[in-house]
Structures are given as C-alpha cells and as structure tokens.
Amino acid sequence: MSIIFAQEKELSINDLFHQLGFFGNTPESIRFVNNNEANQVLNFERTVYDRYPDTIFNPEKIRFVSLDYGSDEELHLNMKSLKKLNNIEYLEIRSKNLFRGSDSLPILKSFDFLDELENLRFLKFDGTFDIDYDALFKSIKHNSNIQYLELGFITEEIELPQILLELKGLRGFRINGFKKIILPSDLSEMKDLESIVLVIEGYENPIEILSKLATIPKLKDLQISFGSFSLEQVGFLKNFKDLEKLTLFNFSLDSLQCLFDAFSENNNLRSLNLQNLRIRSGSTNYDNLKNLESLVFHHQGEPICIEGDLSVMKKLQKLDLGYNGLKILNKSIFDLKVLKELRLSYNHIKVIPSELGKLKLLEKLYLNNNLLTEIPASIGNLNGLQELGLENNSINILPKTIGRLKQLTNLNLRQNIICALPDSITELKKLESLDLAENDLTHLPENIGSLSNLKTFPLYSNFLIELPSSFTELVNLEKLEIQQNKLKHLPSQLGNLKKLRSIYLGGRDSTKISSFKSLDSSYESDSLRIMRSNNDFQELPVSLSSLKNLKMLDFENQKSLQVEDIFKILFNLKSYRYTIKLRNCAISKLPEVGWQSFYAENLQLTNNNLESIPKGIVKSPFLKSLSFKLSSEDKLNYSFRTREQLLAFYEEKGFLKWEEIPKTQNMSQAFLENAYNRSYTNAKNTIYPLFKKAIKIDSSYAMSKIRKDDYAEALMRNKEYTKAIDFFTRSIVNDTTESIRVLNFLIPQFRNRAEAYLKTGDTIAAIKDYLFISDQGWDNDYGKAALLAKSASKDSLSAILFKKGITSYKNQIEFRKNNKLLDYGYDLSLVELYIIANEFTEARNYLLELQPLNDMDYSSMVLMKYFNLVLSIIQEEDSAKEINSFEDTFQKEQTDFQSWSFKLFEMWLDKADLTPKKKQTIKELTMIIQG
C-alpha cells in the first residue's frame, strides 16, 4: 500500500503516520500550516472551520483529515462541511471511547457518507467502535477507490463477514484488538491485498490466522504482534514465500536464530523489522537473510550477542541495532559494503573501531545515547555521509578529519563535553543543521560564518563569551538559540540574518545538564557538569529592527536590558504577528506611546512587577495575547489568550468604552474567561461584574456556560443572598439528579447555601443544610448546626445535634483504630466538640486518655496543649505560667496550623457563657497558635 506525495516519492502506508504532522482545531494552528497542507493531517473541528472558513488558504490541498465521532448526526454534519475539502484521500474517525470492554460503544451502522468522498483512499477507525461490518464492507465495495482500511480497536470476539473477500481493490488492511478475530478461511480472492497489520494481544493460536493470511496471493508486507511465538509458530513463516517485508513487535521469543532459520533459503524478504522483542539468546548465522536490504532489531531485557558474520547480507543498506544494550560491536558490520544507514543508538558502546571508515557508501550514521568519549579519525573516510548523530555521549574532542565529510547536512553533537571545535568543521559547507547545545564551548571558530547553509544552529547551555564577527554571515539561519551562555553583546550586524524566524537570548536563571544513563535508558541531572547560568546582555543591536521574518523573540531573564532600548527596537521592527517574551526582565514601567507601531501578536511580561498597563497599548494592531503582573492595584497575574479577552480587559480598565467593543458571542465568552481566571485569586469580587457583562452581550450563551454554583457564589459576594439561594438550589438539584459530581463540589454548595440562608435570617434552613451534609456522612457539621440551633433558642435540637456529632467522631476514631490508620485529627475534633457542647469534664478526660500516646505528631501535641489551656481558663485554674511557656515554645518551633480551622471554636466563643476576661484570654491564646 502506498501513497504518492507531491514530490512523487512513494511512501508505504505503514510509514505514513511517521511522516504526517497533525494540526487544526484552532484558527491559529490552521493558519500556521498554510502552504504545508500536502503532508499534514487536519484535526477537523467543524465549529471552528464553519466559524473561520477563511483560515485555510488552500482547501483543495488538504488531503488528510482526522475527526472525532460523536453521533451519526454529528458525522453527517462533519461530512457536509468536509465537502469544501474536495480532495480528501485520508479520513480518520476517532472514537472518544478508548477504554477496553466498555458497555456503551459508539455504534456505526450507516456509511453512506463514504459516497461523498470521491478521492478517499485511506479509511481509519481509531479507538473502540461497535461496527456493522456487513454495512461497512458493502459501502467500501461501492466506493472502489478505498485501498486501505483500519478497523479500530476490537474488544470482543468477532467473525468478519464473507463480503470482505469482495473488496477487490483493497491493498492494505489493519486490525487491532485483544480478542479472537475470525477471518474467512480462504483469502485467495483478495488478489490486490499487499499489506496486512495484525496487532492482537494474547492470541492463543497464531497459526490459525497465519494459515489464512498465507492464502493471500500477493501479500508482500506483513506486520504482526501476538505477544509470544513458539518454535512451531515461527516455523510457519516459511509459508509466506513472496513476503518482502516482515515486522514483528512486542514478541517473546526463545531464540533470534530460530527466527532467522524459519525463512526459506530462497526467500524474497527485503526488510525485517523486529521491535520491542524479548529474546533469550542471539544469533550467529544470517545465510537466510542474504536478500535483506533493511534489518531493524530492538531488544528489551538483558543484552544479547549479535555474533557471526553479518557481511553475508551483501545487499543490506540499512542496519538498526539500537536499544540492545550492546557494549562491543560485531566488526563484521564494517564489511557491509553497500550499507547506507547505520543506527547504533541507545546502547552501552564506549569505543567505535577504526574499521568504521570502511563503510564508504554510508549516508546516515547514528551513534547517539551511548558512552563514547571520542570518534575515530577514520570517520573522515565516509565521503558520502549526510547525517551524523552523536548527541548524548561524553565526547570531549572531535577529530580534525571531520572536515572531510563534505556531503554532511546534519550534525548533532548536543549534550557532550566538547570545549573547542576543530577549525576543520568550517569546511562542512553543506551543513544545514549543526547542534552544539549543552556542551562546554567557550568560543566558536572565527570562520564559522563560512557555514552559510546553516538553518538551525542550537548553541544554548554552553560557556560562550562572544560570537565571532563572521557569525553574521550565516545568512540562511532561521533560528538563533544562544540562551544560557556568558554573552553580554551581540554582533552589531545581526540584522544581516534576514531569514531569522526565532531569537532566543534568555532562559531560566540556572540549569543543570541532564545526562543520559544508557544502563537504564533514563535521564538525570548530571552532578559533574557545571551549572549553566544565563546571558547578561547589556544592549541589543539596532539592526535587529530590520528583520522581517521574526515570529519569536525570547529575552527572558535579561534584567540588564533597558526597557526603552527594547521597545525602541520593537516599535521599529519590520516583522508582523510575532511573539515577544520579556519574562522576569526587571521591567516596572512600559512606554506610554508608540504602541501603534507594535506589531506583536503575543506579549509575555510575567514575573515583572509592572506599575500599570499603559492605555496606549489599545492601539497595538495585532496584539491578542498578553500576560503580566501588576505590582500595585490588585497584584493579580493576568493572562489573556484571545483578542476578545484583551478587549474585555481594556473595557474593564476604562481604556475602551462599552460602545466600542463588539457584541458577539466570542466577546461574551471572553468576559466569562476573564471572570473564571480570577476564581482562585483574591479578586473574586470582580467576577460578578464580568458575569453581568457577558450576560448583557449574550444572555442565553452566557447562562449556558456559567455553572449555577459559580453564579450563586458571585451573587453571594455581591450580597444578593436570596438570588444566590435560588441558584445554589438549582445547582444542587442538577448535580444530584442529572450529573452527580464529586463530594468536593457538592459540600461547598450546601455550606454556601447555608451561609446565604443565615444572611437572610433563615437559621432553620441553614441548620437543615448542615444537617444534610452530616447525615449523608460527607462531613461532620453537627457542631456548627448545634451552635446555630442554640442561638435560635432550640436547645433540645442543639443537644441532639451535639450528641450526633460526638457519636460520629467516635465512630470515625474506632474505624481508624481498627484499620490502623494513624490520624489524631478526629480525636482533637472530638475534644473541640466536647468543649463547645460545654461538656468540659468529658473533654478533660479524653485529653488524659490521649496523653500517654507517643506516636503523636508535634502539631497534634501542640493542639492538645492548647485545648488543655482553654479548659484551665474556663475552669478558673491558674494557667498564666503555662500560657507564657506555651507562647515561648510555639514561637521557637514555628509550627504551621493552616490545616486546622478555628472558625467553629471562634463561633462558640462569641456566644459562650464565659466572663469577658476568660473570653479575651482564650482569644489571645488562639491568636498565638494562629500565628
């Protein structure tokens, strides 16, 4: 199965997903990929596309689409919208249900929509569906263009209908699942089927299904995963006489050699891909692999030996032995005369032998993530090498012969310990990517500018003091990454780099290098590497203003830059719709004027303490995303992600009049988003006015988006208690009947409604809410309910509630003791409840029971002391010395009691039948413990 790209390169469908990028579901991400539509998958979101139809400049170029399945009706609407994209070749329908064995799977019975997609060649169901396979296959039969089909994840045993055999045009077929899948017994009628992928976990009898697959006359590509293979089952592979490509993954196998021996001597196998295999022993004989052009072997578990003469595979062009724990290389590798690609990544290799230079035709060499300290000089003999991956090793010096690799376009040396580069590196004129990040470089070769084809050149996390003047000759450079060095100045002619799209000057204040541990394939902070500090730029070259293609400027942590100099450049910058990051740059004041020439789309000012936001910022023509913190006023962290959110903020601050903002649904949504962004701040009192504005613009939309309990809380803060009670009641009814929410959401609603009742003077209604919470076992609010009953002169009810509360705590304590759950919070809550119920003797006796316990944490012991002192004060015992001692001890230990609430105790104390002096002494004692 293949797909033809614009450059006429044929690509196997099984490699398709490694080549395609995904984009979509926001106008911004759709715009981002315009002009690159031909090899990207559109995450189709109908509402976005219908709302912003002009975001795709070339809809006829969109060929790959992925969408979520919600219902047949939704699918029909999606297909109606997709008609505008009339060249779709690939369609992926994703189930939102990805769980195995679900009882409520999406049911797909109608596939008429396939008739609408005349150019469709690839149909994939992703996730778990309940599919009517008869109906599906009939539709595919009618749509003769469909060549590749994937059936999603099958959770139940199924028997595919005979009509499958009538899909004459099918060239590729994939089945995923973990139950038995029964195919028609004779597949010989499927004469065009070339590719089969079967990923079936725990399949008990692989031979049963393999025997059926062996009847397919033109099967060339087989990919299977069954979990384990016996010797007999491996031997059955001989029946696939015309197979050209075999992929086995996630297998357990006794011997690699028994697999190789399973192939007949005159087989047609060209590609063998073995991934994530668990094998006990290796191999020594490769006579049956003489026609192989590609061999990939990745092993899990203890390292195994790859022995014997590999050079008998005379046609081998690609060899990938990564992830095998190899320490020593089989030198016959270097006798593979036509080898073009060698991958030895993620092993334990310390030395590469000089025989490497014998691989004259090598084009790609990946030795990354090993334990190498040097590279042999013979690497210079690899005249045709185009890609070289050496990242994540411990290389400290490069051979001068590296300059002889004239065809090299990609060189990755990231995360080594290189202090200096050989001058010969500047002879690599075809280099397009050179990655030197996370090394120990202090300088670059003076002639580095001769690498004029470089597009990417990461240099971050080194010790560079300056950039050579020739750096400005890197005229094709698109990304400048020099953060976390020791730079103070940039070359004055940096503006010569006209193709720059990104500039990264800043970064975190200090960073440890993370090193790869090849023994367990993990990363950890390397304690032997010197901490990386940040650059300290004093000024920026004025020539930066001339750059027209910039999309990203990151000046984070550049505190020595003057805000006037930064914005002088920004206000003159020729680029449009870019992002500028000025986080933690010690900025306190922004310019008042000049914003009409500020063409950024995203301005990040977090971790600065701004005095204010200037009114002139409203004039920024493209600004739609802004984040900052104000040092004065409310001290909030603001973050606006859309233009509408910014407009809502401008209106709130008085920068715009109400009449000047659009009255659209998006605007209503923006006010709501700004309101909800303050839910966890100290500015909750500003939420209600924002809710009101959202409702004023579009009441039906706003009220459908505001949660009833959130609106009720906002009403509470606005002192509209009766209305708040109504919305709390609606929310409780909704959440306990339609969509039951977790207790953490329900409990506050009952408590907040109780508080609202109290504000309206309805104490009995409040008591009922607290009683409901407690009777449900959600929490113990009996004490509060009892105090309220007492304040309402309902003494008998108060006594009953106190008794319920005490019983509840005793039951909890007994349960935790029986289950050996150590938590003295319930014990201390019981003491508190005894006190507020005026059962002082019971409180004292229970404290005496707790005294001998030696496994109590310090905070609990302090609270015990506190309650003992309270009882002493109540019972007129002389406790002045104890209080002074308690205060001294507490201040020394500085214990944090934020997890303990004193509100109930304070509620009792306010109404307690105690003398004013006793009350005052207890209040002072409480203030000590509250800090």
pLDDT tens for each residue of 127-158: 888 888 999 999 998 877 898 999 888 878 88
pLDDT tens for each residue of 382-422: 999 999 999 999 999 999 999 999 999 999 999 999 999 99
Assign 21 a pLDDT band (cuts: 50, 70, 90): very low
Residue 735, pLDDT score: 76
Listed residue (794, 793, 792, 768) closest to 782, CA to CA: 768
Tell me the percentage of the chain whose pLDDT exceeds 70: 87
**460-483 mean pLDDT:** 97
Whether 153 contacts 127, CB under 8 Å? yes
Residue 33, pLDDT score: 40
Residue 20, pLDDT score: 41
| pLDDT for 474 beyond 50 | yes
User: Looking at this protein, which amino acid is placed at residue 32?
Assistant: F
Question: What is the rounded CA–CA span in Å between residue 773 and residue 359?
Answer: 76
Mean pLDDT lowest for which of 281-285, 315-319, 489-493?
281-285
| pLDDT for 340 beyond 60 | yes
Whether 523 contacts 392, CB under 8 Å? no
Assign 70 a pLDDT band (cuts: 50, 70, 90): confident
Listed residue (112, 119, 107, 163) closest to 137, CA to CA: 163
Which carries the bigger pLDDT value, residue 112 or residue 450? Answer: 450
- List own/partner pairs for 514-523 with CB under 8 A and 24 or more apart: 514/415, 515/392, 515/415, 516/369, 516/392, 516/415, 518/346, 518/347, 518/348, 518/369, 518/370, 518/371, 519/348, 521/323, 521/346, 521/369
Residue 34, pLDDT score: 40
pLDDT tens for each residue of 619-640: 999 999 999 988 766 667 899 9
pLDDT tens for each residue of 562-612: 999 999 999 999 999 999 999 999 999 999 999 999 999 999 999 998 999
Residue 774, pLDDT score: 87
Assign 51 a pLDDT band (cuts: 50, 70, 90): low
* 3-state DSSP percent of the chain in helix, strand and coil, to 5: 40, 15, 45
Residue 75, pLDDT score: 79
Residue 4, pLDDT score: 27
User: For residue 759, what are its two tokens?
Assistant: 């504000």
| DSSP line for 568-630 | HHHTT----S-EEE-TTS------SS-GGG---SEEE-TTS-BS---GGGGG-SS--EEEEEB
Question: What is the rounded CA–CA span in Å between residue 31 and residue 52?
Answer: 10
User: For residue 199, what are its two tokens?
Assistant: 């990923």
Assign 13 a pLDDT band (cuts: 50, 70, 90): very low
Whether 376 contacts 355, CB under 8 Å? no
Assign 202 a pLDDT band (cuts: 50, 70, 90): low
User: Looking at this protein, which amino acid is placed at residue 542?
Assistant: V
H-only helix segments in 458-601: 563-570
| pLDDT for 517 beyond 70 | no
Whether 619 contacts 596, CB under 8 Å? yes
**100-124 mean pLDDT:** 76
**Alpha-carbon torsion (661, 664, 667, 671), positive or negative:** positive
pLDDT tens for each residue of 25-45: 333 333 334 444 455 677 777
Residue 35, pLDDT score: 46
Contacts of 517 (CB under 8 A, 6+ apart): 523, 524
Question: What is the rounded CA–CA span in Å between residue 577 and residue 401?
Answer: 44
| pLDDT for 862 beyond 90 | no
User: For residue 416, what are its two tokens?
Assistant: 């080594």
H-only helix segments in 114-220: 133-142, 206-213
Considering the chain, what is the average pLDDT of its residues?
A: 86
pTM here is: 0.79
Residue 5, pLDDT score: 28
Residue 586 φ/ψ region, left for φ over 0, alpha for ψ in the -120 to 50 degree band, beta for the rest: left
Whether 133 contacts 158, CB under 8 Å? yes
Residue 742, pLDDT score: 54
| pLDDT for 7 beyond 80 | no
Whether 240 contacts 216, CB under 8 Å? no
Mean pLDDT lowest for which of 207-211, 477-481, 725-729?
207-211
Question: What is the rounded CA–CA span in Å between residue 623 and residue 595?
Answer: 10
Which carries the bigger pLDDT value, residue 226 or residue 15? Answer: 226
Mean pLDDT lowest for which of 49-58, 105-114, 410-419?
49-58
Assign 60 a pLDDT band (cuts: 50, 70, 90): confident
Burial class (CB in 10 A: 0-12, 13-18, 19+), 392: buried
**Alpha-carbon torsion (840, 845, 849, 852), positive or negative:** positive
Tell me the percentage of the chain whose pLDDT exceeds 90: 55
Instruction: List the beta strands (DSSP E) in 345-496.
Output: 364-366, 387-389, 410-412, 433-435, 479-481
- Torsion, Cα 417 420 424 429, to 10 degrees, reads 70
Which carries the bigger pLDDT value, residue 664 or residue 523? Answer: 664
Mean pLDDT lowest for which of 345-349, 484-488, 680-684?
680-684
Residue 104, pLDDT score: 59
| pLDDT for 379 beyond 60 | yes
- Chain position carrying tokens 């922004």: 590
pLDDT tens for each residue of 251-307: 778 888 888 988 888 899 999 999 888 888 888 899 999 999 999 999 887 887 888
Contacts of 102 (CB under 8 A, 6+ apart): 128, 155
Estimate to the nearest angstrom the gap between the alpha carbon of 436 and the chain centroid: 26
Whether 652 contacts 660, CB under 8 Å? no
Mean pLDDT lowest for which of 120-124, 440-444, 539-543?
120-124
CB count within 10 Å of CB 902 equals 15
pLDDT tens for each residue of 887-902: 777 666 666 666 788 8
| pLDDT for 750 beyond 50 | yes
Which carries the bigger pLDDT value, residue 234 or residue 602? Answer: 602
| pLDDT for 3 beyond 50 | no
Whether 327 contacts 348, CB under 8 Å? yes
pLDDT tens for each residue of 689-715: 999 999 999 999 999 999 999 999 999
Residue 525, pLDDT score: 59
Residue 455, pLDDT score: 97
